[in-house]
Amino acid sequence: MNNKLLRILLFALMWPVMLMAQTEPSFKGSSKSEVSLGEQFRIVYELNADGSRFSGPDFEGLRVITGPMTSSSSSIQIINGQMSRTYSQTYTYVAVATSEGEIDLNPATVFVDGKKISSNPIKIKVQPASSASTAPSQQQRGSQQQTDETGLSEKDLFLRAIVDKTSPLLGEQVIMTYRLYTRVPISSISVNKLSSFPGFWVKNLLEEGAPLQQSTQIIDGEEYVVADIRKMALFPQRSGKITIEPMELEGVAQVRVQADRRRSRDPFESFFNDPFFNRNVRNVERVLISNPVEIEVKALPFAGRPQDFGGAVGQFSLQASIDRNALKTNEALNVTYTISGKGNIELIEMPRPAFPPDFEVYEPKVSGQASTSASGVTGTRKIEFLAIPRSPGEFLIPAVNFSYFDPAKKKYVELTSEAFSIQVERGTETGEDIAATVRAREGIRYLGSDIRHIKPETNTLKPIGSFFFFSNLFLALLGLGAAIFAAILIYLRRTTQLRKNQSLLRNRQATKVARKRLKTAHKHMHVKQQNEFYLEMSQALWGYLANKFNIARADLSFETVKEALDKTQVTEALRDEFIEVLNNCEYARFAPGDASEKMEELYNQGIQIISKTERTIK
């Protein structure tokens, strides 16, 4: 402890001398002069001073994968009693060329001691991807895959799309999993782009919002932490080759930076590399793209296909039940058929029995219950018929057939239900009713609405010449309809204009989205789920700033937030308070003290700072 205090005191004494030894600030930008279309490359800006409020170029014609990544270094030298200090800051982007031709990047800017400094413009020539002059050698490509300028290798963090079968039959279940592999800590995982599944009926197998289940796996002798991001059951609805596009994720990886102690023999080197001043951890934003998947869907065989086959594929069972076999005329009975099993249970066509003509049958009620697990979709489908016999006698409800294709057995399976014999006795109906039902047995199957009772009550009388058309009530309703139509038209036009202006739409929805995330964070706080609470709080604060000031998620940083707040009516004190709350959100989970008290304090700070900002801007 005494040594650390001595270092701090020595640093404070030397600081004025070090400031006097500084040179004029220099800000330079550099990059490759020629790149290939689709090639990843670095754009680096170097500053030999302590800068702030860095602003990069427009990057027209390029797509920024990550950046700006900021790093700094300093050194002190004492030669013949003269002390000199060098300090440098580096801002690094990783970009991809998206179009051919000449690209002119305008200068980047940074502030040093309140003075704005601009870098030199950068010119980049983008050549076709097949150009041999700009294509990197195999050895160079291998080194790029091993590690990049962030210190993060493609083998450290990647996303894979995995299917349990690539040549399923039409209607056969396919389990598709998007699995994340990592050897470094990662946080703030968000989905940028979901895959589309043309030609498939999709069922999600993972509960929305549930925490990721992690496990470990050894790959090529290296241990990875593995988590399933999404898992779906796919049921192909057409045959042929289908390509599933990649899924895109974005996350922040924490890469440990090792201090290089061989670069200098300076006796004060260990002082500046002390963990008190440097956490030796760098947050690296990484975009992960899964591999595309091709699935060849095969048609079901024609050989042995039953005539009543309805497209069911899987393993199923059929059950039939009736609530009673003996009843009287005009009494109701229920006939139920239940199919249960594994496969495309929610897509199957339910069987329908042939009821006798003397039965009045109502529209059946179809219900179902499906459950999901890691192995796929299982469940039941039920169809219930309500039937009323109108004449006495002995009747038969014949058996029904249900067929499906079993992929495991590779053949069609036919199931037959039980037939039901029903004894109907004469009820309390009059002779005229019996005659009507007897005539109905002669080839007439009437519905419940064919014969109605005569109403004994007298209808309401109206004066002659009294019409609803052009009456006062008619005109009032007509005017009300026109007013409602005009209101709907005005609302739709305003909604269309608002949707065209994405910046205004995001601005108006900023508070609503933030309140929703704060509400979720409050739930996590009550059940003391710290990780989920801090994640929701961070996304609520950063998401509010991104939507309110139309800042892209990839460009979010403390510097861009400061610049955005400076352009509004927000005071400097409120701006600094917002930045302080963002810092508290990042480090609160690691601070000592009671966890519940820390979460409640941070939650109150988040609500207050968003409310203050809203009142100030309005």
Most confident of 289-298, 509-518, 582-591: 289-298
Identify whether 173 is part of a domain.
yes
Cα–Cα dist 157/248, whole Å = 13
pLDDT tens digits, one per residue of 238-285: 999 999 888 888 888 877 765 544 444 444 444 444 444 445 667 888
- Helix (H) or strand (E) holding 64, with range, is strand 62-79
Which domain covers residue 29, as residue numbers?
Answer: 1-148
Query: Are residues 2 and 143 located together in one domain of the fold?
Result: yes
Q: What's the distance, CA 507 to chain centroid?
A: 21
440, 457, 475 - which closes a domain: 440
Identify whether 80 is part of a domain.
yes
Identify whether 200 is part of a domain.
yes
pTM: 0.46
Residue scoring higher pLDDT (449 or 289): 289
What single letter denotes the amino acid at residue 567?
K
Mean pLDDT of all residues in 473-478: 86
Query: Are residues 242 and 324 located together in one domain of the fold?
Result: no
Cα–Cα dist 181/189, whole Å = 13
Query: Are residues 360 and 327 located together in one domain of the fold?
Result: yes
Do the Cβ atoms of 248 and 212 come closer than 8 Å? no
Query: Are residues 25 and 141 located together in one domain of the fold?
Result: yes
Cα–Cα dist 251/181, whole Å = 13
Q: What is the mean pLDDT of the chain?
A: 78
Do the Cβ atoms of 87 and 50 come closer than 8 Å? yes
Identify whether 107 is part of a domain.
yes
Print the SS3 string covering 7-19: HHHHHHHHHHHHH
Q: What's the CATH number where 68 sits?
A: 2.60.40.10
Print the SS3 string covering 274-313: CCCCCCCEEEEEEEEECCCEEEEEECCCCCCCCCCCCCCE
Query: Are residues 128 and 167 located together in one domain of the fold?
Result: no
Instruction: Give yes or no for residue 430 having a pLDDT over 60.
Output: no
Query: Are residues 323 and 368 located together in one domain of the fold?
Result: yes
269, 299, 329 - which closes a domain: 299
113, 148, 183 - which closes a domain: 148
Query: Are residues 191 and 213 located together in one domain of the fold?
Result: yes
**Of 9-13, 328-332, 356-360, 505-509, which gets the smallest average pLDDT?**
9-13
Identify whether 521 is part of a domain.
yes
In the chain, the number of structural domains is 4
Q: How high is the pLDDT of residue 261?
A: 43
Q: What's the CATH number where 258 sits?
A: 2.60.40
Identify whether 480 is part of a domain.
no
At residue 322's C-alpha, the angle toward residues 316 and 324, to 5°, is 165
Query: Are residues 343 and 408 located together in one domain of the fold?
Result: yes
Query: Are residues 118 and 256 located together in one domain of the fold?
Result: no
What single letter denotes the amino acid at residue 618?
K
Identify whether 586 is part of a domain.
yes
Residue scoring higher pLDDT (578 or 416): 416
pLDDT tens digits, one per residue of 480-538: 988 998 999 888 887 776 565 555 555 667 777 888 888 888 888 888 888 888 888 88
Residue scoring higher pLDDT (10 or 223): 223
Q: What's the CATH number where 511 sits?
A: 1.20.120.330
Query: Are residues 71 and 164 located together in one domain of the fold?
Result: no
Query: Are residues 52 and 96 located together in one domain of the fold?
Result: yes
Q: What's the CATH number where 353 sits?
A: 2.60.40.740
Instruction: Give yes or no for residue 142 having a pLDDT over 50.
Output: no
Query: Residue 604: how many CB atoms within 10 A of its CB?
Result: 10
Identify whether 421 is part of a domain.
yes
Query: Are residues 253 and 338 located together in one domain of the fold?
Result: no
pLDDT band, very low/low/confident/very high, at 5 (cuts 50, 70, 90): low
Tokens of 63: 């797509």
According to DSSP, the residues that pair with 414 across neighbouring strands are 403
Q: How high is the pLDDT of residue 297?
A: 93
Do the Cβ atoms of 240 and 297 come closer than 8 Å? yes
